[in-house]
Chain A
Amino acid sequence: MKREQEPNLPIDPRYKLSGLSWSSLVMLETDPEEWYTTYVLGHKRKPTGAMKFGTKIHKQISDRKLTGKIKEVPHGKNPETALTCKIFYTKTKSFNLLGKPDDYDKQVLYEYKTGTKLWTQKRAENHGQLFTYALLLKKTKHLDIKTALLISLETRTIMVNWKPKIQLTGNTRTLKVEITPQDLLKIQARFINGYKKALKTIKEHEER
């Protein structure tokens, strides 16, 4: 039987493909209207200073060029690899799942987080992004990822010449999260509900 794909989801500019990413799912769950504005109309919010700083640190980590108080963090062998796979919500119908894990190797997934507060174990264990990437790696690279390391890097804002500047404090926390086959099933279920919400939101806007 031929498998079909729903055409309704917008194209994600980062992947040049229609589908849902982890960040789009979170936005759909919390504010479908903001998702519509951002992903369908393409009106992206201006990145905040903290977001820009996070991107800079991620780049330094993937280039293995961390400077300052932290010189090295645990890492894998495949930084910033864009991955896509299909999630089937019926035998024949699917949508694309999109994602770019910070890093991975054959057994471990690595995710880096910058912020003023270090992550807790509980927060890391409930962080669906890790399961999303483990699922993507299973479906695209056939890797059975059972462990994810979430590396939390603490930041603070200092004033330099009367301007706020974000920097790493040097405090880090590496949190180990076990990933089970059930986690991968559940995250797909979550994406399916997100997908339904996306279609509903688009339909509501078209009917207005």
Chain B
Amino acid sequence: MNKELQVIEQRVAKCEEAKFKIVVNSQETYDQALNFERKVNALIKDIDAQEKDITKPINDSLKKIRDAFRPAKDKLAQIKKEIGDTRVKYIQAEEAKKKLEAERLEARLERGTIREDTVIKKLAIAEETKTVTNGGMTSVLVIKHVDLAQLPMEYLIIDESKILKAYRAGVIIPGVICEYEKRARA
């Protein structure tokens, strides 16, 4: 492989050397530059093919190994998910119960049917006896609802491919201007 890499490096070095001689300022030099780019493209393709000769069997083996282990891992992931969901449900129910109890105590305190120190003592006991999650639980921030009418522009992401596809199909999208610009292609 080292020998093959050496040959490739030599060819790349030659290309790099040739690149410095190219100046585009006439039809003739433009055509020369385009031809050169085509040669570079051919070299890239050649390198890709050589690379693939080596990587394909490795990737095929990797795929086979992964396929063999996947079913067992998928099953375990499912088991893990089901147990995790049960834990989350339990904690959610416990938190809801605790919240309800705290609200009930607060309401009683407002009505004057319980002393503040009794409320605090009860809350302290509830806090002490709560389930310790031992790092098995995390909080993830999620978007629950979006009112587009109120959402400021800065939070909107433009779906570029959808816009371009519509433009190609002749759809006029208000507020959007598209145009074709030149890009080099060999």
Interface residues, chain A, with chain B CB atoms under 8 Å away: 87-91, 122, 181-182, 185-186, 188-190, 192-193, 196
Contact = CB atoms under 8 A, between A and B. Distances in A.
A182 B106 contact: yes
A122 B117 CA distance: 29
Contact of A89 (B120, B127, B141): B120
Interface in B88-140: 102-103, 105-106, 109, 115-117, 119-121, 123-124, 126-128, 139
A90 B127 contact: no
Given A122-B139, A193-B128, 12 more contacts: A88-B117, A89-B117, A89-B121, A90-B117, A181-B106, A185-B102, A185-B119, A185-B123, A189-B120, A189-B123, A190-B124, A193-B127
Given A122-B139, A122-B141, A190-B124, A91 B117 contact: yes
A89 B124 CA distance: 9
Contact of B120 (A181, A185, A196): A185
A89 B126 CA distance: 14
Contact of B124 (A91, A181, A189): A189
**B contacts with A: majority SS:** helix
Interface in B162-179: none
A90 B126 CA distance: 16
A186 B123 contact: yes
Contacts, number: 46
Nearest to B120: A188
8 contacts: A88-B117, A88-B120, A89-B120, A90-B117, A182-B106, A185-B120, A186-B123, A189-B120
A195 to B, nearest CB: 9
Interface string B1-37: 0000000000000000000000000000000000000
Contacts of A196: 124
Contacts of A90: 117, 121
A181 B117 CA distance: 14
B88 to A, nearest CB: 18
Contacts of B123: 185-186, 188-189
Nearest to B127: A189
